């Protein structure tokens, strides 16, 4: 019986590094106990992390599949599992299972396209994987634009990587913004949706959105105003999950399960689903 | 107080102001009472929610005793009066479900009554030991 | 068969609706069969005309819905309450759970309700139930002639010891004869108390083992009105839906009954809705009986504003250690 | 077709029970039928259906998935699964047999649920035709014929005999166990019974019910229907319908701290419960209307959309007789599905 592919039984992972990104976001590096990558994944996929006795929860894998050494998860403190993780120390074991879900269509629809990534707050976490993947294969994709906004300077996730690597990547244009004026900030100030409109992107791009629902809503309106079609816009969703394999029955939007048929959806696909997320 | 080598596990909820101090006094005076009495300090005996009592049984207690200040002496004026009503009803309900009535007890022990504390615990442990293991309110998942 | 007709009630409601005195009517709606009645909100005389029903299967106690409706609706709600339901209503008022200003409470004299489950026990494939003075004619798929079941045999558990001597806290009362109480409601509690602990243990073990943890008893209970139930708190460590083992079953049912002790009006909804027919009222009645005998008679919901026994005390109260000797003395 | 005289029924049960754990609907002290392990003296219930469906055998209400031992920063995973043994579920009605197909579509599609799969492999199902369908029965609406129950063995109970025929190898093996009590028989009595069942089916009050207006791809049509409001209004949000339903398959995974370790277990969950979809980040279904709609949309639209038109309801009628407020799928189908005819 033990030779079956067992999807509910997790593997053991060990936290080997914890980076403090913002006051409420930490990035955890997870490896197998003998220092290997736990499993391979595709950009946009998720994994179930758990602490026995605390709970299990789904997180998007923040690191790129092209990173062959480890996996990273950027996690915002907001519930039982995340609060527990935030007080964990390096060396702490966790359980991990996955990868789950439909990845971004990096080999199909994205190929050869100019890409526009738009993220707000912790919404950068699921996009970091796909951004770094596309940066790794510059020949496969056109220009990359990244619009990223947060409440304040200190709330920008992965700020170091953005400044050190993304900004210096000649194939990438980074547009940062924060909600309110702040001392020491010389960049753009304002909400993401307005900034997107101001930047007036060319509509030959494929856009990928992730952020709080209110940001998604207004950015979508902004993109449509610029002339983007819904088939050019992707997003990634999150709902409560328990199994990760489309069986426990709670993460559905209409007939689609976010864990299995998502988390990546194209906007026109979402339009077909009832408005219940 | 082993009966046939069996030592019961007793959970004693003691109020901070009287009974816990009573237990302290018992210790200071070198009075013997069973080591298998596990004391849980609570601010007042009325902090003991019926669920605490059931939970103690679930986690392996064979007897549960609640100790507080004597009626009229509550640090918070009236807390133990409420305890008295709640536990009277709860214990009566447990008995109604066929759970041995001797497994639960409420005793009032003041800070000065170290000897009473020790005597109470000895007596309770003996009573519970004679009943044997708690089978009727056990949770097999916790017995490993 | 009810002495007051559905027409009388729906007519009353329709006239108040039409006069603009009330905006909604909370009543009972007919279903597919003669017995599957659903609580419902009516907004027009036409709806009442079409679907309102008042018969021996209008068992549902509508008072708990008022918590929801007095919050979500603007405008006065007419509610029909049977005598026993008025205790729940009054208890909810005592606990400030209902905005009284928004309610127009109409008392309905009740002649006793029928237990669909009892009727079903000896009748497969019920196609129709016709009510007569003495009982029910049950038409089924499998016999040409209807089977007769008397009113007494089919009576709902709570009606066996009806406490409907009076309506309380009403705006209006429809005149009519009220069902007379018969049995002592504590008979079964006393019978259980007189069993040996082993017998009691096995009795409850058997009853509670059927529990499927659907939480219907909690959700229907007019006394269970917490905004967030302890059983729904994942951090409480209590199972809220897993029928994990016999400990969890006992834990749930003891705590459920304890949390409404002193506030339970003995409306009997918990036992009525239990899909596994567990006599849950026997747990609630145990607490009621103990409260009555230890601390003096108390009927929750009888006097608006009265202090529930568990948030009250007397310096001379019985000690927990004296409870059993004292009761054994009483029962002897 | 094998014939077993009812006089020998207990002997046959004893022979089966000597080889396999045997579960049989038996009357309980509340006057309802429930599946219980057969023991000498047990009586097969005459009731048409059990309160809880037999899905419990394959997808139990609570089951341990694994255990953990936590010490310091390290975690050990302990596989607590036990090797399953063959078992027999006797007296399953046609609707409930069909419900296993509905569950299979969920649990056995890749990645398959091994806990469920292993029990399905080991379970031997003996179905029985319904001679007394109830007024709450509407299996016919979902193309289920109670006179042709599937399963490993199908059987027909007459006044004096039980007629059995095996449909699978597992079934053949089971019939071999009781062959000394059975004899070859023609299907005259069975044909007669089928005929009478079909006559009753036509007379059932819900005989004309049809799910024809529902099915995959109809989300838009029904999702915003105004009827949901009045249908869901009285719903208590309890889990009765879900827990007695043979096809409801939602579950929760939770941890239990034993004091010395952690048990991770799975238990039934209900989309009717308010915390079913609750996240720290928000709640997509905030009202009982949304939760109520989810349950019926899933059965009548979403599930068929993902499973070639198969509905996730088998018409067993349990929710009709058990719902505290008597709201059920029949009322939903009539309120929403009847619209187009008008």
Domain region containing B25: 10-135
Cβ <8 Å between B144 and D256: no
Q: How far is CA B11 from the centre of its chain?
A: 5
Side-chain half-sphere exposure of B29, counting CA atoms within 13 A: 18
**Contact status of C21 with chain D (Cβ, < 8 Å):** no
Instruction: Tell me how many residue pairs between chain A and chain C have CB atoms under 8 A apart.
Output: 3
pLDDT tens-digit readout, D254-312? 999 998 899 999 999 999 998 888 877 778 888 999 999 999 999 999 999 999 999 99
Residue A166's pLDDT is what?
Answer: 87
Alpha carbon distance B52, C235 (integer Å): 14
Q: Which residues contact D208 (CB under 8 A, 6 or more apart)?
A: none
Q: Work out the minimum CA distance from B142 to partner chain D, whole angstroms.
A: 5
Cβ <8 Å between C237 and B98: no
Q: Work out the minimum CA distance from B18 to partner chain C, whole angstroms.
A: 18
**Contact status of D260 with chain B (Cβ, < 8 Å):** yes
User: Cβ(C297)–Cβ(C289) under 8 Å?
Assistant: no
Is this complex's ipTM strictly greater than 0.85? yes
Interface of A to C at Cβ within 8 Å reads 55, 80
User: Cβ(B101)–Cβ(C324) under 8 Å?
Assistant: yes
**Contact status of D71 with chain A (Cβ, < 8 Å):** no
Banded model confidence at residue A198, pLDDT cuts 50, 70, 90:
confident
Cβ <8 Å between D268 and C219: no
End-to-end CA distance of chain A: 38
Q: Work out the minimum CA distance from D264 to partner chain A, whole angstroms.
A: 8
Structure tokens at C186: 């504590």
Structure tokens at C28: 């009972």
**Judgement on whether residues D156 and D232 belong to the same structural domain of the protein:** no
**Contact status of B59 with chain D (Cβ, < 8 Å):** yes
The last residue of one of the domains, among D171, D203, D235, is D203
Alpha carbon distance A267, A210 (integer Å): 12
Q: Which residues contact B68 (CB under 8 A, 6 or more apart)?
A: B14, B15, B18, B19, B44, B45, B46, B74, B79, B80, B83, B106, B108, B109
Work out whether the CA dihedral A253, A255, A256, A258 comes out positive or negative: positive
User: Cβ(A41)–Cβ(A47) under 8 Å?
Assistant: yes
- How many structural domains comprise chain B? 1
Residues of D in contact with B142 (CB under 8 A): 258-260
Cβ <8 Å between D260 and B144: yes
**Judgement on whether residues D226 and D195 belong to the same structural domain of the protein:** no
Residue identified by tokens 């005390």 is C313
User: Cβ(B19)–Cβ(B68) under 8 Å?
Assistant: yes
Banded model confidence at residue B144, pLDDT cuts 50, 70, 90:
low
Coil/strand/helix, residue C78: strand
Question: Does residue B61 fall inside a structural domain?
Answer: yes
Residue in A242, A255, A277 nearest the CB of D252: A242
CA angle C77, C83, C85 (to 5 degrees): 55
Cβ <8 Å between B72 and C315: yes
Work out whether the CA dihedral C225, C227, C232, C235 comes out positive or negative: negative
For residue D263, count CB atoms less than 10 angstroms from its CB and return exposed for 0-12, middle for 13-18, buried for 19 or more: buried
User: Cβ(B98)–Cβ(C202) under 8 Å?
Assistant: yes
Residue A1's pLDDT is what?
Answer: 37
Q: Do A and B share at least 3 CB pairs under 8 Å?
A: no
Residue A131's pLDDT is what?
Answer: 92
Alpha carbon distance D30, D52 (integer Å): 13
Which stretches of C45-186 are DSSP H helices? Answer: 45-51, 65-72, 83-94, 116-121, 151-154, 157-160
Touching B: C residues 68-127, CB under 8 Å: none
D70-99 b/e (C-beta count within 10 Å ≥ 16 → b)? beeeebebeeebeeeeeebbbbbbbbbbbb
Q: Which residues contact C322 (CB under 8 A, 6 or more apart)?
A: none
CATH fold of A11-100 reads Elongation Factor Tu (Ef-tu); domain 3 (2.40.30)
Question: Does residue B1 fall inside a structural domain?
Answer: no
User: Cβ(D277)–Cβ(D284) under 8 Å?
Assistant: yes
**Contact status of D292 with chain C (Cβ, < 8 Å):** no
Q: Work out the minimum CA distance from B144 to partner chain D, whole angstroms.
A: 7
Question: Does residue D334 fall inside a structural domain?
Answer: yes
User: Cβ(D1)–Cβ(D194) under 8 Å?
Assistant: no
Comparing C270 with B2, the larger pLDDT belongs to C270
Closest of D69, C6, D273, C321 to residue A12, by C-alpha: D69
Alpha carbon distance C17, B78 (integer Å): 51
Kindly report the pTM of this predicted structure: 0.92
- Which bin fits D71, alpha (ψ -120 to 50), beta or left (φ > 0)? beta
User: Cβ(C67)–Cβ(C97) under 8 Å?
Assistant: yes
**Judgement on whether residues D241 and D289 belong to the same structural domain of the protein:** yes
pLDDT tens-digit readout, C165-219? 667 778 888 887 777 667 788 999 999 999 999 999 999 999 999 999 999 999 9
Orientation of helix C281-295 relative to helix C323-331, angle to 10°: 90
CA angle B79, B83, B87 (to 5 degrees): 175
Q: Where are the domains of chain A?
A: 11-100, 114-236
**Judgement on whether residues D130 and D232 belong to the same structural domain of the protein:** no
**Judgement on whether residues D195 and D229 belong to the same structural domain of the protein:** no
Residues of B in contact with D256 (CB under 8 A): 141
DSSP class of D50: B
Residues of D in contact with B141 (CB under 8 A): 256, 258, 263
| D55 has a pLDDT exceeding 60 | yes
Q: Find the CATH number of the domain harbouring B21.
A: 3.40.50
| A4 has a pLDDT exceeding 60 | no
Radius of gyration of chain D (CA): 22
Banded model confidence at residue A2, pLDDT cuts 50, 70, 90:
very low
DSSP per-residue string spanning D281-322: TB-S--SHHHHHHHHHHIIIIIHHHHTTT--S-----HHHHH
pLDDT tens-digit readout, D194-245? 999 999 999 999 999 999 999 988 998 999 999 999 999 999 999 999 999 9
**Judgement on whether residues D109 and D26 belong to the same structural domain of the protein:** yes
Strands A25-31 and A93-100: what pairing? unpaired
**Contact status of C237 with chain A (Cβ, < 8 Å):** no
User: Cβ(C123)–Cβ(C138) under 8 Å?
Assistant: yes
**Judgement on whether residues D137 and D227 belong to the same structural domain of the protein:** no
- Which residues of chain C have a pLDDT value below 50? none
pLDDT tens-digit readout, A125-156? 999 999 999 989 988 988 999 999 998 888 88
**Judgement on whether residues D138 and D183 belong to the same structural domain of the protein:** yes
User: Cβ(C136)–Cβ(C151) under 8 Å?
Assistant: yes
Banded model confidence at residue B3, pLDDT cuts 50, 70, 90:
low
Q: Which helix (H) or strand (E) element contains residue B21?
A: helix B19-28
Domain region containing D225: 219-248+271-341
**Contact status of D126 with chain C (Cβ, < 8 Å):** no
Structure tokens at D221: 């049509």
| D30 has a pLDDT exceeding 60 | yes
Structure tokens at B18: 């009287």
- Chains touching chain D through at least 3 C-beta pairs below 8 angstroms are A, B, C
Banded model confidence at residue D342, pLDDT cuts 50, 70, 90:
very low
- How many structural domains comprise chain D? 2
**Contact status of D261 with chain B (Cβ, < 8 Å):** yes
CATH of domain A114-236: 3.40.50.80
Task: Give the range among A48-57, A196-205, C147-156, D5-14 with minimum mean pLDDT.
Answer: A196-205
**Contact status of C234 with chain A (Cβ, < 8 Å):** yes
Strands (E), chain C: 24-29, 38-42, 77-81, 103-107, 126-131, 135-140, 143-150, 172-173
Q: Which helix (H) or strand (E) element contains residue B121?
A: helix B114-131
Cβ <8 Å between D253 and A94: no
User: Cβ(D6)–Cβ(D40) under 8 Å?
Assistant: no
**Contact status of C67 with chain D (Cβ, < 8 Å):** no
Closest of A104, A17, A95, A5 to residue A57, by C-alpha: A95
- Side by side, the strands of the sheet bearing A264-266 are A188-189, A172-178, A144-150, A114-120, A205-210, A233-236, A264-266
| D341 has a pLDDT exceeding 60 | no
| A261 has a pLDDT exceeding 80 | yes
Side-chain half-sphere exposure of C185, counting CA atoms within 13 A: 26
Mean of the pLDDT values across residues A10-34?
Answer: 93
């Amino acid at each position: 019986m033990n030779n079956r592919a067992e999807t509910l039984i997790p593997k053991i992972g060990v936290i080997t590094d914890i980076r403090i990104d913002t006051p409420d976001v930490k990035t955890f590096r997870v490896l197998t106990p003998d220092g290997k990558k736990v499993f391979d994944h595709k950009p946009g996929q998720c994994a179930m992390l758990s602490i026995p006795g605390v709970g299990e929860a789904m997180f998007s894998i923040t690191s790129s599949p092209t990173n062959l050494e480890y996996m990273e998860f950027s996690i915002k403190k907001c519930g039982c599992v995340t609060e527990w993780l935030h007080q964990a120390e390096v060396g702490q074991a966790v359980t991990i299972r996955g990868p789950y879900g439909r990845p971004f269509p990096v080999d199909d629809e994205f190929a050869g396209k100019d890409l526009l990534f738009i993220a707000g707050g912790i919404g950068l976490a699921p996009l970091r994987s796909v951004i770094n993947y596309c940066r790794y294969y510059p020949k496969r994709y056109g220009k990359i634009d990244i619009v990223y906004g947060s409440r304040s300077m200190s709330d920008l996730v992965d700020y170091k990587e953005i400044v050190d690597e993304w900004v210096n990547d000649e194939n990438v244009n980074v547009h940062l913004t924060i909600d309110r004026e702040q001392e020491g900030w010389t960049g753009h100030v304002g909400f993401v949706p307005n900034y997107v409109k101001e930047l007036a992107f060319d509509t030959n791009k494929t856009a990928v959105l992730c952020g709080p629902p209110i940001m998604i809503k207004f950015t979508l309106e902004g993109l449509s105003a610029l002339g983007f079609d819904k088939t050019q816009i992707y997003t990634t969703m999150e709902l409560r999950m328990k199994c990760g394999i489309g069986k426990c029955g709670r993460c559905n939007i209409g007939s689609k399960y976010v864990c299995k048929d998502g988390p990546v959806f194209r906007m026109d696909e979402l339009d077909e689903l009832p408005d219940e997320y | 107080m082993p009966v046939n080598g069996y030592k019961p596990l007793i959970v004693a909820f003691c109020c901070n102001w009287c009974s816990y101090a009573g237990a302290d006094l018992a210790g200071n005076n070198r009075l013997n009472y069973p080591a298998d009495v596990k004391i849980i300090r609570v601010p007042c005996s009325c902090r003991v929610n019926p669920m605490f009592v059931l939970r103690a049984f679930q986690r392996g207690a064979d007897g549960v005793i609640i100790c507080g200040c004597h009626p009229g002496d509550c640090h918070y004026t009236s807390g133990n009066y409420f305890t008295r009503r709640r536990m009277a009803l709860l214990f009566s309900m447990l008995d109604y479900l066929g759970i041995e009535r001797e497994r639960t007890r409420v005793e009032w022990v003041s800070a000065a009554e170290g000897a009473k504390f020790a005597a109470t615990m000895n007596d309770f442990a003996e009573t519970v030991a004679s009943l044997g293991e708690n089978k009727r309110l056990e949770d097999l998942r916790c017995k490993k | 068969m009810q002495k007051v007709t559905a027409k009388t009630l729906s007519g009353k409601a329709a006239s108040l609706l039409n006069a603009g005195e009330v905006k909604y009517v909370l009543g009972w709606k007919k279903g597919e069969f003669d017995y599957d009645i659903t609580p419902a909100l009516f907004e027009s005389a036409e709806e009442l005309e079409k679907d309102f029903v008042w018969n021996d299967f209008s068992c549902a106690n509508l008072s708990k819905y008022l918590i929801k409706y007095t919050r979500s609706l603007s405008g006065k709600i007419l509610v029909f309450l049977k005598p026993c339901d008025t205790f729940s209503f009054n208890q909810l008022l005592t606990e400030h759970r209902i905005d009284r200003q928004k309610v127009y409470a109409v008392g309905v004299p009740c002649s006793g309700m029928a237990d669909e489950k009892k009727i079903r026990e000896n009748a497969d494939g019920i196609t129709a139930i016709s009510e007569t003075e003495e009982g029910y004619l049950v038409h089924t798929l499998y016999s040409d002639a209807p089977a007769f079941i008397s009113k007494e045999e089919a009576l709902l558990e709570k009606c066996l010891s009806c406490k409907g001597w009076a309506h309380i806290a009403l705006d209006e009362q429809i005149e009519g004869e009220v069902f007379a109480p018969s049995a002592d409601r504590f008979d079964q509690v006393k019978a259980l108390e007189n069993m040996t602990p082993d017998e009691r243990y096995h009795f409850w073990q058997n009853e509670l083992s059927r529990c499927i943890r659907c939480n219907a008893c909690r959700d229907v209970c007019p006394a269970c009105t917490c905004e967030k139930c302890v059983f729904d708190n994942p951090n409480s460590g209590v199972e809220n839906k897993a029928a994990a083992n016999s400990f969890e079953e006992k834990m749930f049912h003891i705590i459920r009954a304890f949390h409404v002790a002193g506030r339970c009006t003995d409306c009997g909804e918990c036992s009525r809705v239990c899909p596994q027919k567990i006599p849950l009222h026997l747990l609630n009645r145990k607490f009621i009986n103990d409260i009555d005998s230890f601390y003096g008679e108390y009927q929750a919901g009888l006097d608006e504003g009265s202090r529930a026994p568990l948030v009250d005390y007397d310096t001379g109260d019985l000690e927990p250690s004296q409870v059993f000797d004292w009761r054994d003395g009483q029962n002897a | 077709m094998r014939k077993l005289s009812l006089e020998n029924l207990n002997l046959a049960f004893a022979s089966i029970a000597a080889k396999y754990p045997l579960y049989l609907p038996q009357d309980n002290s509340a006057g309802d039928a429930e599946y219980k392990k057969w023991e000498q003296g047990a009586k097969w219930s005459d009731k048409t259906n059990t309160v809880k469906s037999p899905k419990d055998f394959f997808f139990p209400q609570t089951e341990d998935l694994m255990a953990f031992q936590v010490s310091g920063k390290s975690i050990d995973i302990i596989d607590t699964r036990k090797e399953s043994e063959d078992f027999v579920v006797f007296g399953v009605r046609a609707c409930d047999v069909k419900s296993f197909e509905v569950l299979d579509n969920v649990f056995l599609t890749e990645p398959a649920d091994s806990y469920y799969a292993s029990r399905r492999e080991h379970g031997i199902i003996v179905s029985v035709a319904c001679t007394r369908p109830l007024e709450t029965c509407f299996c016919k609406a979902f193309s289920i014929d109670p006179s042709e129950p599937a399963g490993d063995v199908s059987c027909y109970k007459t006044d004096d005999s039980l007629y059995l025929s095996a449909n699978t190898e597992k079934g053949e093996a089971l019939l071999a166990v009781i062959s000394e009590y059975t004899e070859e028989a023609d299907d005259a009595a069975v044909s007669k019974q089928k005929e009478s069942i079909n006559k009753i089916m036509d007379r059932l009050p819900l005989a004309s019910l049809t799910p024809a207006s529902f099915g995959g791809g109809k989300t838009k049509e029904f999702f915003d229907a105004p009827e949901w409001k009045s249908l869901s209004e009285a719903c208590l949000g309890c889990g009765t319908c879900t827990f007695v339903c043979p096809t409801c398959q939602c579950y929760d995974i939770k941890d239990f701290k034993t004091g010395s370790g952690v048990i991770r277990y799975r238990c039934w969950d209900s989309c009717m419960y308010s915390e079913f979809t609750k996240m720290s980040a928000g709640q997509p279904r905030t009202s009982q209307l949304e939760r109520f709609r989810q349950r019926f949309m899933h059965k009548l639209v979403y599930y068929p959309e993902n499973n070639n038109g198969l509905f996730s309801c088998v018409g067993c009628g349990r929710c009709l007789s058990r719902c505290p407020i008597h709201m059920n799928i029949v009322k939903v189908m009539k309120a929403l599905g009847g619209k187009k005819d008008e």
